[in-house]
Amino acid sequence: MDSSVLFALFVAAFVNAVLPGPCVILTFGRTVRAGVPAGLVVTAGILAADLVLVATAVGVTFGLVALAPAAFPAMKWLGIVCLVALALRSVRAATVPVETTRPTHDGAGGFVVGLSSPYNLLFYGAVLPQALPVMEVDVGAALLTVAVTLTAIAMAQLGVVALAAGCRGMVGGRGRWIDCATAGALLMIAAASASVPMAREEPPDTLRVSER
């Protein structure tokens, strides 16, 4: 594959991953509140979810997977429910000492938030066909595309963790306010998602299986 195409794919995936959204907010909030290990666990969950979404987008690009139109609104409302649930969990965490929280929940939270957003799947479905030779299934190109995309996401997430770790010293004893701020941000994103309908309640052209 052309190195310039891979570089453009890397940049696009990195920018998409680093823009403020539920994944970034959850990663930042948990890192500031509970430390780098918690942020890395959230990141692992997000990467696992993105692996599923990227693999799905690649499968759709090659015509190996079909997505029903109902999948996108279902993902949208599932994502809203998950954001509200995580916001409530953040509020509850504000009343619990940091050492009593369960790190495994952070991985599950990252995975659910990452997987339940239809907008990430739409993004991958729009970008990945530009990098893949869709005339025939190319396993090598598909694996390289997935690897480049996930590497970009991982670097963006690690940047968020590093930034949050640097902010921990400034937070001091105000960790509970961080949980409340995280909850508020997640609720705002959930409200915005609910109030703004998706452009189409069906897969875009780039996500439709072509007839062969």
Among the ranges given (61-65, 99-103, 191-195), the one the predictor scored with the smallest mean pLDDT: 99-103
Number of domains within the chain: 1
Q: What is the mean predicted confidence (pLDDT) over 175-195?
A: 80
Token pair in block for residue 198: 């998706």
- Residue 136 has a pLDDT of 60
Confirm whether 208 is domain-assigned: no
pLDDT at 204 exceeding the cut of 60:
no
Confirm whether 77 is domain-assigned: yes
- Residue 134 has a pLDDT of 57
pLDDT at 167 exceeding the cut of 80:
yes
Under 8 Å CB-to-CB from 81, ≥6 apart: which residues?
A: none
Give 110 or 201, the one with higher predicted confidence: 110
Confirm whether 30 is domain-assigned: yes
Q: What is the mean predicted confidence (pLDDT) over 207-211?
A: 42
Confirm whether 54 is domain-assigned: yes
pLDDT at 57 exceeding the cut of 90:
no
Confirm whether 137 is domain-assigned: yes
| Range of the structural domain that residue 67 is part of | 3-199
Q: What is the mean predicted confidence (pLDDT) over 20-39?
A: 88
Confirm whether 212 is domain-assigned: no
Residue-wise over 143-177: b if at least 16 C-beta within 10 A, else e? ebbbebbbebbbebbeebbeebeeebeeeeeebee
For residue 166, which amino acid is it?
G
Confirm whether 8 is domain-assigned: yes
pLDDT at 100 exceeding the cut of 60:
no
- Residue 98 has a pLDDT of 53
Confirm whether 207 is domain-assigned: no
- Residue 212 has a pLDDT of 36
CA 61/CA 9 separation, integer angstroms = 15
Give 53 or 118, the one with higher predicted confidence: 53
- Residue 80 has a pLDDT of 85
Among the ranges given (60-69, 124-133, 140-149, 179-188), the one the predictor scored with the smallest mean pLDDT: 60-69
User: Cα dihedral sign for 80, 85, 90, 92?
Assistant: positive
- Residue 46 has a pLDDT of 95
CA 212/CA 192 separation, integer angstroms = 39
- Residue 172 has a pLDDT of 56
Full DSSP string of 48-114: HHHHHHHHHHHHHHTTS----TTHHHHHHHHHHHHHHHHHHHHHHHTTS-GGGS-HHHHHHHHHHHH
Helices H / strands E in the chain, number of each: 8, 0
